[in-house]
Homo-oligomer: A and B are copies of this chain.
Amino acid sequence: MDKFFNPSSVVVIGSSNSPFNLGATISNILHYLGYKGELYVVNSKGEDVHGSRGFKSVLDIPGEVDLAIILTPARVAPAVVRECGMKGIRHLVIETAEFSEAGEEGKRLQEEISACAREFGIRFLGPNCLGTLNAHNKFCCFFGIIPGMYDEVFDRPGAISYVIQSGGVGALIIDSFRKDITNVNKMVSIGNKEDVDEADLIDYFNGDNTEVICLYLENVKNGRKLLETAKRIRKPVLVYKVGRTGEGSKAAMSHTAGMANNDVIFESACSQAGIVRLKSISELYTLPKMFTGMPLMKGKRVAVFTNSGAFGGITADLIVESGLEMASFSEETKERLRATAKLFNVSNPVDLGPTLGKQTFIDIWDAILSSDRVDGLLAVPNVWQKVVVEAICELEDICRKYDKPAAIYIPNAIERILAIRTEFNLPIFESPEEATRALTVSHQHYRSLGKKVGEALPV
């Protein structure tokens, strides 16, 4: 599977100098990214493209080829796949569309490709996909990428790997990470997933440097395979699935040729396999950061801290509604809290009045997280003064000290949140709902892990 992300030599079949040629955008982006391996192109004239040597057929290429990227019209794709097989290429990315998502003829072509691939022992992505992106080694075979568009992913690679069934969703994820503290590790678009599917990729991401695995799925073809694979995985697996309703399923079908799935069965499979189901597209890029720096939440008891009174009540509601519990402090904890500063409330939610001391925040958070009646912290500090941000910068250390997570939300306009998050590299969520959800999901994953290792984990 690694050849899809780290090929030593690549051919782009269907890359030419014609105007609007999509294959040429791939040659171009690979050049731009400084791809170090051999890069060939194949087109009807056998012409060079963007400095890559051109051939009329893969069979004419002198050296070995690890990966072929195919962007020819659908009708010639079966012949191209056969030539790749004869050339000894064992990994293909078939980006061409107009296969099973487009009707009977496309379906027949897709089956033909599949049969041919089996004959040669070829593994392939697609058809009707974008292929792969590997931020760490600056490899990308997505078509249509303009040089510069995704610089930030490649300059600041992250820990989250994605399997997506839509380029549009991939672009939204990459765009959104510009203002976040984590980023994409690898991303793969599987399109109609005739061969390689989400389960194969989860398996692969389980063995590489990925920390969180996220999936955007429009359908599941082999539910049992996904279930059995996910059961073995220890890394968090987060899934947003379209087609929860009949109408959604129908719409997805015209996009990536899925089948109507029974969502109740999928839900139950996720629950068995410890897969976290996401509730919105944005959770695909906002929630993973809860797993990259913070300890897991081992119980349900949440302490709330705020210096903006209303958010105590707001988050208490959200915590209870999401199935977590408001922690009940011991007298000892309350006594420690009283000693820190003038607090409006020393019971949970802790409500701090105006203070200028960074250490006050730290003392309060230490008192809360050290309590054996608390499993995690929902922190809602209004950052009206710089000392508050400076205090938040030390919160992760306190969390690690007590092996408990904090989810942070600052009750400020979104552009302020984005600015502070990126400037200070803090895992700040964008709403109280999102922060509460992050704690919920952290705990859900912790419980799944417990089931997977077959014993109760320490609480």
Contact = CB atoms under 8 A, between A and B. Distances in A.
A250 interface: yes
A311 interface: yes
A175 B413 contact: yes
A62 interface: no
Q: How large is the interface on A (under 10, 10 to 19, 20 to 34, 35 or more residues)?
A: 35 or more
A412 B311 contact: no
A255 B218 contact: no
Interface string A391-411: 000000000000000000001
A242 B313 contact: yes
A311 B281 CA distance: 10
A201 to B, nearest CB: 18
A313 B253 CA distance: 8
Given A168-B310, A255-B310, A176 B321 contact: no
A245 B324 CA distance: 12
Contact of A382 (B165, B168, B246, B415): B168
Given A255-B309, A312-B254, A432-B281, A320 B175 contact: no
A211 interface: no
A262 to B, nearest CB: 14
Interface stretch (A29-37, A51-59, A70-78, A344-352): A344-352
Given A166-B309, A344-B254, A411-B168, A175 B416 contact: yes
Contact of A413 (B172, B319, B320): B172
Nearest to A177: B413
The prevalent SS among residues of A at the interface is helix
B247 A308 contact: no
Contact of A172 (B254, B321, B412): B412
A314 interface: yes
Nearest to A412: B175
Interface string A311-337: 111101111110000100000000000
A414 B282 CA distance: 10
A384 B23 CA distance: 20
Contacts of A277: none
A310 B411 CA distance: 32
A269 interface: no
A314 B165 contact: no
A252 interface: yes
Contacts of A313: 218, 242-243, 248-249, 251-252, 255
A280 interface: yes
Given A248-B320, A254-B345, 9 more contacts: A218-B313, A244-B321, A247-B320, A248-B318, A251-B304, A251-B312, A254-B312, A255-B313, A281-B431
13 contacts: A168-B310, A172-B413, A179-B413, A179-B414, A242-B310, A248-B316, A254-B344, A255-B310, A255-B313, A255-B351, A280-B433, A282-B431, A415-B418
Interface of A: 165-166, 168-169, 171-172, 175-176, 178-179, 216, 218, 242-252, 254-256, 280-282, 304, 308-314, 316-321, 326, 344-345, 347, 349, 351, 382, 411-416, 418, 430-433
Q: Which 10 residue pairs spanning A and B have beta carbons closest together?
A: A248-B317, A166-B310, A168-B308, A252-B313, A175-B413, A245-B320, A242-B313, A251-B313, A255-B309, A247-B316
